[in-house]
Structure 1
């Protein structure tokens, strides 16, 4: 599945969350990640994220789609991290 993950968490926990999300998804903008991920890996990511966040003050949003092609993305202004498929 293809997901977009967005988080809003306390400043003290941002670095831990950034490092965690980069293990599973592609960073595209501050606190925003996207990419293909299996259901098992997504559950693993969210389980680890729940150990980092404070559920009373922090939030994580996950937008899911079957495939990237079902999403239309439009960038206005500076694209922070272009996802090039260079090997």
Structure 2
């Protein structure tokens, strides 16, 4: 499946959240990652992020798609992710 992850963590946990997410997805820009992921790794990613988050201060949004075949991505302005992340 293709996943877009958007998160907003408190400053003391944001670095840890990014480190976890980058094990599974490609960094696109501040607090946004995307990529193909298996169901098993999607579950692991969610569990790892939930283990460090404070639900009263932090939030996570997952957008999941069966495939990225029918999606379009357009970038404007400063590119923050690496070239390997181009879809």
* Superposition deviation, residue 81 in structure 1: 1.3
C-alpha separation in 1, matches of 2:18 and 2:56: 20
Match in the other structure for 2:75: 75
SS at match of 1:21: helix
> TM-score normalised to the size of structure 1?
0.91
Q: CA deviation at 1:82?
A: 3.8
Paired position in structure 2 for 1:7? 7
Aligned residues: 85
What TM-score do the two structures reach when normalised by structure 2? Answer: 0.91
Q: Which residue of 2 aligns with 1:22?
A: 22
The 1-side partners of 2:32 and 2:59 are apart by 12
- 1:9-28 deviation digits (Å, cap 9, x = unpaired): 10000111010001000001
When the two chains are superposed, the root-mean-square deviation of aligned CA atoms in Å is: 1.3
- Structure 1: segments with no counterpart, 5+ residues: none
Alignment of 1:53-68 (within 5 A): 53-68=53-68
Q: Detail structure 1 runs of 4+ shifted over 4 Å in the superposition.
A: none
Rounded Cα–Cα distance in structure 2 between residues aligned with 1:39 and 1:7: 20
